[in-house]
Amino acid sequence: MGRASKRKQAQRQAGSSAGRARPDSRSRTGAEQLVFGLDEMVEMARIRVERKYAAREAWFGDAEPVPAELPEFPENSLGDRFLVGYLGEAEDAPSLLTAEIPDAAVIAADSAQWSIAVLTLIRSVVFEGLALDHPAVSALLEVLAPIVAAEQAHWEDGADGFPELDGPVYALGARALVEATWAAVGQDLLDDVLDVLLPALDGAVPGVKSLILGIALVGALPRHYSFDDPADTDVLEHMGPLPGNALETLVATGAISPEDVLPTGLLVLSVLARLCLTDADSILADGLTPGS
């Protein structure tokens, strides 16, 4: 499992659910139904993990998996929060510098392979600094392009059959970006965080204003986490109800084209990584104060 501590491994397996809003359970009533629902979810999660690890083997061949070279961060620091959960999985994902990329048809045919592909892109672009025009990055983005198109079509028709939880836009927009933004927020007020986040996002995505990116990121949080401070709820009310997927918001508002959704997500995630991969416990620390 690489450098991840037992604490991190346990949190990843639990889904890093601390602080999350309580899911809507109105469709089930009674203790027996609740237990059945939990058992069902645990079994589904187990199957997903097994499928993902089986799919990952195709990327390593006979080579021993080597985690990304990232420092250890103090507990509850920005870096520690950033790497707990889905982004911690990316730390242990294949690297495009050494991986044996499966054939495009193999990736397209297995939704578990989509998950590995997105985690590989995150590791390679965000943690290892590969540019979007790197041949291996470009090739993998092209492989995922028709899958992304099918996922976006599913947003429109909502028909059954598309594995939503494995969708590349879901993985990057509703998991990686949401968890990274939550790590950046920490215990700080949203208004103060935005004062630091918006300048950092300036120019991150050509043609997209940092305010639009910031609203998409922060506006996605209430679908996943609870906010009780009146100052935070006031900020979120001014943003209005938004999808829990920042990339879906950017596409829906016309800020980015559907074809640019994954590159945009990787660029924005790289900015959040630069802010968060530090020993500090707040992005407001070390001179990054509101209005500075």
Q: Which pLDDT does position 96 carry in this prediction?
A: 94
Q: Which of 289, 225, 288, 272 is nearest to 79 (CA)?
A: 272
- Looking at residue 259, what DSSP letter applies? G
- Integer angstrom CA distances of residue 149 from 176, 200, 239, 248: 19, 30, 27, 12
pTM of the model: 0.83
Quote the tokens at residue 263: 């590159």
Q: Which pLDDT does position 141 carry in this prediction?
A: 97
Rounded CA separation 20/255 (Å): 28
Q: Which pLDDT does position 286 carry in this prediction?
A: 60
Q: Which of 144, 147, 91 is nearest to 120 (CA)?
A: 91
Q: Which residues pair with residue 158 across a beta bridge?
A: none
> Which of helix, strand or coil describes residue 134?
coil
CA atoms within 13 A of residue 229's CA, in its CB half-sphere? 8
Residue type, 129: G
pLDDT tens for 246-290 read: 999 999 999 999 999 999 999 999 999 999 999 999 999 865 433
Residue type, 232: D
Residue in the block written with tokens 């187990």: 46
Q: Give yes or no for a contact between 189 and 232, defined as CB atoms under 8 angstroms apart.
A: yes
> Which of helix, strand or coil describes residue 267?
helix
Q: Give yes or no for a contact between 255 and 208, defined as CB atoms under 8 angstroms apart.
A: yes
Please report, to the nearest 10 degrees, the dihedral formed by the alpha carbons of residues 227, 231, 233, 235 taken in order: -120
Distance of CA 291 to the CA centre of its chain: 28
Residue in the block written with tokens 């959960």: 85
Low-confidence ranges of the chain (pLDDT < 50): 1-35, 288-292
The counts of H helices and E strands in the chain are: 14, 0
Written in H, E and C, the secondary structure of 151-203 is: HHHHHHHCCCCCCHHHCHHHHHHHHHHHHHHHHHHCCCCHHHHHHHHHHHHCC
Give the CA angle between residues 148, 179, 255 to the nearest 5°: 50
Q: Give yes or no for a contact between 67 and 92, defined as CB atoms under 8 angstroms apart.
A: yes
Q: Which pLDDT does position 36 carry in this prediction?
A: 53
Rounded CA separation 249/265 (Å): 12
